[in-house]
Amino acid sequence: MKSPLSSSSSSSMGVLRKPRLSPYLFTLLTFVVFITILYGEDFICIFGQLEPIPGRAISRPVKKREKLAFAIGKSEEKCDVFKGRWVRDELTRPLYEESECPYIQPQLTCQEHGRPDTEYQKWRWQPHGCDLPSFNATLMLETLRGKRMMFVGDSLNRGQYVSMICLLHTLIPEHAKSMKSYDNDALTVFRAKAPFLLESNSDNAVVHRVPDRIVRRGSINKHGKHWKGVDILVFNTYLWWMTGLDIKILKGSFEDEEKEIIEVSAEDAYRIMAMRSMLRWVRKNMDRKKTRVFFTSMSPTHGKGIEWGGEPGKNCYNQTTIIEDSNYWDTNSRKTIMNVIAEEFSKSKFPITFLNITQLSSYRKDAHTSIYKKQWSPLTAEQLANPVSYADCVHWCLPGLQDTWNELLFSKLFYP
């Protein structure tokens, strides 16, 4: 059985069905710690590191030009890993089994909730003219010894976070995990819920109705105080801003008896409130020589089958094939917002690594959780009679597409 720890091209990556380590590799493992939740519904995982392998160089000589933190190499010249195609791969996919990763929330466990096929797990992203480095958990644990990685954003960011936990989890024996202790030599992976990045009334797990959402101006430090001291930040924010309505902006505090609220267009709010606030916080709190910041682009939805040539009134429900049209673009993924991100990032003095997952994810109408998930409330008879009506075409099954997002993160972290 092939090991998933190879650092060669992705075509050589194997599937680890049950964690089996050689005696030598086992001695390199320390432990994993799982400690208290930061934001109620999520957990923090601390993955024990591997001792450096003798004779193996994981750092490269520093060049005259600025080197990004944690880079151990560079990508192939003229290689854009975000442009490519999906290729079917039954040998190396999935990268782990749903049943083997106990940290996947029931909202993402599609097999457990009755999905009849596993085709969505058998696709690998192949960039044009180059290869995507294989996700190498050993290298990641070695290189990031004692570092802190945090995922900050909405529920899609949470899915990417859980995917990362599962990718690393395959390397750690069960008895090498602890719930009671903390090791400063471990890689710590956190997740912080902040769907708008700024403070909002939607930080409350119950207040989610679109018309009721209010974002507080100039409040990024409300959440940002939890991000300080982190070495690698992975942000996202998009879907909560794009409601089709203007965004309600609160001047002052949520505690004020009389609240002054103005309404701003979604695009202006996204630029001024989300992007500029985030970049300002990063500039003030992150060290460009020692830390890295990533931003995951908008995750597409597949709520309108007619957009890809499907039947009117249909959506991602019962979709088991990918979209072959390389020019396909989900209309809910606003190109104007992509332009906003590009414009604001180009002004940043701190280098932000943009994980442009939008186009490659737009081909994957087959990979959503659809109806195969734990429902938040009992389904009505009308819903049960019409699965399209309650199919989730926003979130993604795990294992699945979001593992590719983390392969891209791995690539840009170590081979920018």
Whether residue 339 contacts residue 271, with contact meaning beta carbons closer than 8 Å, is answered with no
Average pLDDT over residues 168-174: 76
Choose between 79 and 123: higher pLDDT.
123
pLDDT reported for residue 13: 34
The CA-based angle 362-367-370, given to 5 degrees, is 110
pLDDT digits (tens, 9 = 90+) for 269-293: 999 999 999 999 999 999 999 999 9
Res. 67 pLDDT band, cuts 50 70 90: confident
Which residue in the list 155, 297, 333, 370 is annotated as catalytic?
155
Given a cut of 70, whether residue 65 has pLDDT beyond it is no
Average pLDDT over residues 16-37: 38
Which residues does residue 125 pair with via DSSP β-bridges, in sequence order?
Answer: 86
Place of tokens 């791995």: 410
Which residue in the list 42, 231, 330, 392 is annotated as catalytic?
392
pLDDT digits (tens, 9 = 90+) for 223-274: 999 999 999 999 999 999 998 889 999 999 999 989 999 999 999 999 999 9
pLDDT reported for residue 45: 42
| Residue 89 annotated in active site | no
Q: Which of 80-89, 135-144, 205-214, 368-377 has the lowest mean pLDDT?
A: 205-214
The residues near 402 (Cβ < 8 Å, ≥ 6 apart) are 159, 160, 162, 163, 396
Closest by CA to 215, choosing from 263, 271, 256, is 263
Res. 5 pLDDT band, cuts 50 70 90: very low
Task: Please provide the average confidence, as pLDDT, over all residues in the chain.
Answer: 85
Average pLDDT over residues 192-215: 89
Average pLDDT over residues 352-381: 96
| Residue 134 annotated in active site | no
| Residue 155 annotated in active site | yes
Given a cut of 90, whether residue 49 has pLDDT beyond it is no
pLDDT reported for residue 112: 98
pLDDT digits (tens, 9 = 90+) for 78-103: 899 999 999 999 999 999 999 999 99
DSSP E strands: which ranges in 114-255?
123-127, 148-153, 177-178, 187-193, 214-216, 232-235, 247-251
Which residue in the list 169, 302, 368, 395 is annotated as catalytic?
395
Res. 27 pLDDT band, cuts 50 70 90: very low
Res. 196 pLDDT band, cuts 50 70 90: very high
Res. 182 pLDDT band, cuts 50 70 90: very low
Burial of 164 (0-12, 13-18, 19+ CB in 10 A): buried
What percentage of the chain exceeds 70 in pLDDT? 81
pLDDT reported for residue 42: 47
